[in-house]
Amino acid sequence: MIPQSFQYESPGSLAEAISMLQQYGEDAKILSGGHSLIPMMKLRFATPEYLIDINNIPGLSYIREENGVLKIGGLTREAELEHSDLLKQHFPIFADVTKLIADPQVRNMGTIGGNLAHGDAANDHPAVMMALHATVVATGPEGEREIPIDEFFYGFYMTALQHGDILTEIRIPMPPPGTGSAYHKMERKVGDYATAGVAVQITIGDNGVVTAAGIGLTNVNPVPLRAARSEQALIGKPLTEETINEAALYASEDCNPSSDLRGSEEYKRSIVATLVKRMIHQAVNRANNS
């Protein structure tokens, strides 16, 4: 498996990269971790003429908190997310999700920006970003713009990024006290893409009422899906088995999985329901223990 020939560029600054992208247009692809792109190029499913490697642009890899917002650089590797103390403290969901993405070697290369920009509903970060109500920052010829995660994924492998845009940052509101998060996916073996995956972040107020909820689903829809009805079923009410079951039911109804080697449509809906329940419980446990 060998890629088709291409021209390789390795810009040293964002501006340079953006101008190259503009110059080469549709024939150019950004190379980040390369662990979605290079496999596709080896199979010749992707045959870009120009590869713009953004790995040598300084300042794109970081995890930090600023004014109540968590900021993750687009070039931050999965392994860095996995081992970050800041994330462990506030967002246990990152430890959940990274452990389930591929394997350690892939996580040493793959980046969160690439994972989102790839626009693949089978990838795990999109659902997590939905649960966390993230905002994606795209930097293009006109400068930076913020794209709410709900407006980011369009269609099959399609995102709101335009040619010339580089996904430079992800912004996530720091969670208020009483918040917990969790992610799990059913997979056929470790490192596999999800049969179905569920990301949950939930905030419980002092009076036991759910004040905020985010639920994202992996690989059960042509595009990454927010389980909006499920969130609504929880918000503003005390958390009971009943509301949790309702949320599970809605998620399983609102997704749109297809039958394939990983299981039938019905099975996947059932897994979604089960995982929604389990992840809510886990998130709440974490909220209570934090």
Ligand X SMILES: Cc1cc2nc3c(=O)[nH]c(=O)nc-3n(C[C@H](O)[C@H](O)[C@H](O)COP(=O)(O)OP(=O)(O)OC[C@H]3O[C@@H](n4cnc5c(N)ncnc54)[C@H](O)[C@@H]3O)c2cc1C
Q: Tell me if 102 contacts ligand X by CB under 6 A.
A: yes
**Residue 165: closest CA among 22, 32, 35:** 22
Q: Which is nearer to other proteins, 2 or 207 (CB)?
A: 2
Task: Return the one option of other proteins, ligand X, none that residue 42 interacts with (CB less than 5 to 8 A, by type).
Answer: other proteins
Window of 124-132, 137-145, 236-244, 262-270 that interacts with other proteins by CB under 8 A:
262-270
Q: Tell me if 264 contacts other proteins by CB under 8 A.
A: yes
Task: Print the binding letters for residues 20-39 with ligand X: x by CB under 6 A, - otherwise.
Answer: ---------xxxxxxxxx-x
The full DSSP string for 32-94 is SS-TTHHHHHHTTS---SEEEE-TTSTT---EEEETTEEEEETT-BHHHHHH-HHHHHH-HHH
Q: Tell me if 132 contacts ligand X by CB under 6 A.
A: no
Task: Return the one option of ligand X, other proteins, none that residue 124 interacts with (CB less than 5 to 8 A, by type).
Answer: ligand X
**Count of positions on this chain that bind other proteins (CB under 8 A):** 47
Contacts of other proteins in 146-165 (CB under 8 A) = none
Q: Residue 178, Cβ neighbours under 10 Å: how many?
A: 18
In whole angstroms, what separates CA 39 from the centre of its chain? 20
Q: Residue 270, Cβ neighbours under 10 Å: how many?
A: 15
Report the distance separating Cα 184 and Cα 280, nearest Å: 11
Q: Is 224 exposed, middle or buried (0-12, 13-18, 19+ CB in 10 A)?
A: buried
Q: Is 156 exposed, middle or buried (0-12, 13-18, 19+ CB in 10 A)?
A: exposed
Q: Tell me if 13 contacts other proteins by CB under 8 A.
A: no
CB of 165 to ligand X, least distance (A): 6
Report the distance separating Cα 194 and Cα 168, nearest Å: 26
Q: Which is nearer to other proteins, 195 or 203 (CB)?
A: 195
Task: Print the binding letters for residues 133-172 with ligand X: x by CB under 6 A, - otherwise.
Answer: ----------------------------x----xx-----
Q: Which is nearer to other proteins, 10 or 256 (CB)?
A: 10
List residues near ligand X by CB under 6 A.
29-37, 39, 74, 101-102, 106, 109-111, 113-115, 117-118, 123-125, 161, 166-167, 191, 193
